[in-house]
Amino acid sequence: MTTPFNTLIIGGGLSGLTCGIALAKTGRKVAIVSSSTSSLQLNGGAMELLGCVEGKEVTHPLEAIASLPAEHPYQKVGAEHCGTLAIEAKQLLADTGIYTTGSAEQNHWRITPLGVTKPAWLSLRGMATSDAPERLPWKRATLLNLRGFIDFPIQFIVHNLSQLGCEVTVRDIFVESLCQPRRNASEMRAANLARTMGTGSKLRQLAETINQSTTGNEVVLLPAIAGLEDDYPVTLLRRLVKAPLHFLATMPPSVPGTRMATMLRHYFKMLGGTYLAGDTANQVEMADGRVAGIRTAKSPASTLVAEHYVLATGSLMSQGLVATVDGIVEPLFQLDVDAPAEREQWSHYGLMGDQPFMHFGVLTDATLHGVKDGKAIDNLHVIGSILAGHNPLTMGDGTGVDLLTALAVAHEIIE
Ligand SMILES: Cc1cc2nc3c(=O)[nH]c(=O)nc-3n(C[C@H](O)[C@H](O)[C@H](O)COP(=O)(O)OP(=O)(O)OC[C@H]3O[C@@H](n4cnc5c(N)ncnc54)[C@H](O)[C@@H]3O)c2cc1C
């Protein structure tokens, strides 16, 4: 049995869903097949376009993009188009219900789960941010910690926020109705609290406890534990709390990241997209150098057929790339990969430093078609973090590459 789609996207993370939404909006019949959760669940609620070039922090990402090497994905989508694509990406997120602050012209600074600042392009509404790397917008802040909460390394955060010139007072709060996850010592986690809280009486009790513990004049920082499915709980909590309330990213899995993934998926389905969750594309049919169909683990007897195919399977963590005894491979199409064969060149000592494996990725032609044995496959595009030529960790370009390549490829398919 065959199912004809205009486009079949393999991988339902940020890049796959963005491409799917852009295509489905134009009425095209699109399917996404996705094995499991994506790295969005780890995202602390901010998106980066370009944060660092040759070791120097970037303030104006669009200007800095022009200086990137030809193999960088931004050069492939056209450095001159990045500004327009960035505006389009912000609008697509807003259409989905994901409201952000920030612009591509000038970075602001997000606060990481360890309390240090990093350049960012967009931050989810309600997240604590700064307009400068070396200081916070507040001289004093009250940091609220839920008793028993384990996704918040409070001492690191206090130390690092203090280094940024902010006098931090920590207050432990205890909300009886939110303690359901405490039955197991390992369950007092951000996502469990968000799930327990909902938007009813428990959220109101949290707001009341915050109001009783703070004066109403001080800036209040709370770990991001509200709004797993949409940002209504975030808005409601900020309305109910008398003091200015900002959320801080927690250790993953992250509530804001999970919310983004959920909202993108819902919007894609609302536009008529087909989302095949929990299934893995594991076989490819090729004809005359083009992709003719895909088979999946759950339906091995059916072939999913489309005019266009988009590979958005993420990098090593999501198994878009796989380390084997023979080297780093792209397991589905066996596309050409930019990675050394010698295992000892994949990583080196130094946990926090630049690791070679962060650069590994799939090679493409100038218009992001996948390349196999040196030849481009003309009905297969590659998007997102699986692409070679960039480095989310050292360049701070992860989500920007996902969003901009997804939109550029959607435009090419539409045209
Ligand atoms: C720990 C961590 C924290 C991060 N924090 C930030 C941050 O704060 N800010 C920021 O800007 N960026 C951040 N990033 C980077 C950003 O989250 C990623 O760039 C982005 O989410 C990658 O999206 P993607 O769609 O390319 O791939 P992924 O999110 O990896 O999605 C790929 C999907 O494809 C599926 N898949 C794989 N193989 C198959 C197959 N054969 N068949 C079907 N499905 C398949 C996977 O299950 C997965 O769901 C972070 C990344 C990590 C790892």
Give residue 185's pLDDT.
64
Confirm whether pTM is higher than 0.85: yes
Alpha-carbon distance 216 to 203, whole Å? 18
The residue whose CB lies within 8 Å of the most ligand 1 atoms, and thus the one to mutate among 122, 123, 299, 313, is 313
Query: Where are the strands (E) in 147-301, listed by range?
Result: 167-173, 220-223, 245-248, 274-277, 281-287, 290-296
Taking phi first (over 0 means left), then psi (-120 to 50 degrees means alpha), and beta for anything else, what does residue 148 get?
A: left
The residue whose CB lies within 8 Å of the most ligand 1 atoms, and thus the one to mutate among 36, 37, 38, 352, is 38
For residues 47-66, give the mean pLDDT.
Answer: 96
DSSP letter for 364, please.
B
Chain-wide mean pLDDT for the chain? Answer: 94
- The residue nearest atom 1 of ligand 1, judged by CA position, is 42
Distance in Å, CA 218 to ligand 1 centroid? 37
- 100: which strand partners? 124
- Enclosing H/E stretch for 408: helix 398-414
- State which ligand 1 atom lies nearest to the alpha carbon of 383: 26
Model confidence pLDDT, tens digit, residues 324-356? 988 999 999 999 999 988 887 887 877 667 778
Q: Which residue ranges make up each domain of the chain?
A: 2-102+259-414, 128-248
Kindly report the backbone phi and psi dihedral angles of residue 107, in degrees, each rounded to the nearest multiple of 5, phi listed first: -70, 150
Is-contact 31 310, C-beta < 8 A?
Answer: no
Is-contact 246 128, C-beta < 8 A?
Answer: yes
Q: What is the CA radius of gyration of the chain?
A: 22
At 402, which amino acid appears?
D
Confirm or reject CATH 2.40.160 for domain 128-248, answering yes or no.
no
Model confidence pLDDT, tens digit, residues 93-118? 999 999 999 999 999 999 999 999 99
Q: How many helices (H) and strands (E) does the chain have?
A: 11, 24
Give residue 178's pLDDT.
81
| Fold entry, domain 2-102+259-414 | FAD/NAD(P)-binding domain (3.50.50)
Binding-site residues, ligand 1, Cβ < 6 A: 10-16, 33-36, 38-40, 42-44, 46-48, 252, 280-281, 312-314, 317-320, 332, 384-385, 392, 398-399, 402
Model confidence pLDDT, tens digit, residues 58-89? 999 999 999 999 999 999 999 999 999 999 99
Distance in Å, CA 195 to ligand 1 centroid? 23
Give residue 3's pLDDT.
54
Alpha-carbon distance 50 to 233, whole Å? 30
